[in-house]
A and B are shown apart, each in its own frame.
Chain A
Amino acid sequence: MDKGQHLRLFIKDGANYDVIAMATDLTLHGSATTENTSTKDTTDAADGVSWDEFEVTQRQADIQFSALVAAGTDSAAKILSDIEAGVTDTQIDWEIALASGANNRTKGTVICSGKGKIVNMQATGQVGQNASYSGTINVFGPMTVPA
């Protein structure tokens, strides 16, 4: 069974997808807004009370990630080392994929991919601890699952 460190977030930088260096946590969350579509045509149950019926009207998803701050210009740290530059209205391309090899950075099977915007980032520096940062990507448009 693969563990969390074998599933990683990759962000497109130029022509390549770069892994988030020294990542710690990653969560993909999806939520759908539903509409109650029960009407007067809906058949009641035996006790005269009908069951609600629903359809999805809207979907949204977000990705929350966190990592230790990497020194230098290591891969996606170029985006993430500058918080002000990271939170923009610019779309990014992202993938979540299995990762293996040295430092678990070699991208394998892609689980899902899509576009998104980094809507929040925060960095923390506590005495005696490694500096860390976390961020949220709001998924823009559909998430694609490769065949």
Chain B
Amino acid sequence: MALTKVKGSNFRAFIGGSAVAECTSCQVSITGNMEDARTKDSEGSYAQEQMTSRGWSVQVDSLEATAAALKAIITMFNSDSPVTVGWDQTETTAGTQNRTAANADFARSGNAILNDFSIQMNNRQNVQVTRQFQGTGALS
């Protein structure tokens, strides 16, 4: 069976249920925290790691230039309340800007904290925003 590739343009991060507009790059990460459970009973020298917990994060890079969008980012950073962040495969249909969620099997979301951001406002360049979200609690 021929496999179909998912293009990067159709792998999109969602914040508050909406695809991040003017997004240039996104990266999702799920990391298990490991503990070496080796004891004196263990044979050999190799670690015997067990997963103790796991976490997830999402990084989104985008172009942003409206005052409202930039103010919303800083307001989100100032807030103690998590927001819904996730990712999905989107469909390529004329007029949708690749923003329409299209694959429930691919999609995951959960609560996350905006724990790092950067807004670059350099002369003659588009305003570039990087946001790093740290997941808090489970993905679903």
Contact = CB atoms under 8 A, between A and B. Distances in A.
A98 B121 CA distance: 11
Contacts of A98: 67
A109 to B, nearest CB: 4
A24 B125 CA distance: 10
Contacts of B71: 111-112, 145-146
A4 to B, nearest CB: 4
> Number of contact residues on A: which range applies?
35 or more
Interface stretch (B9-17, B52-60, B86-94, B98-106): B52-60
B137 A53 contact: yes
Most buried by A among B75, B134, B135, B136: B136
Contacts of B83: none
Contacts of A23: 123
18 contacts: A1-B63, A3-B126, A4-B120, A4-B122, A7-B121, A8-B121, A23-B123, A27-B122, A28-B74, A32-B77, A32-B115, A38-B53, A49-B52, A51-B135, A59-B77, A111-B67, A111-B74, A145-B78
Interface of B: 32-33, 51-56, 63, 65-67, 70-71, 74-75, 77-78, 80, 110, 113-127, 134-139
A50 B53 CA distance: 5
List 3 tightest A-B contacts by C-beta distance, closest first.
A52-B55, A7-B121, A1-B65
A4 B127 contact: yes
A33 to B, nearest CB: 8
Nearest to B63: A1
B120 A54 contact: no
Interface string A90-112: 00000010100000000001011
A1 B54 contact: no
Contacts of B75: 145
A49 B127 contact: no
Interface string A21-40: 00111111111101000100
A24 B123 contact: yes
A145 B17 CA distance: 23
A3 B125 contact: yes
A4 B138 contact: no
A25 to B, nearest CB: 5
A122 to B, nearest CB: 18
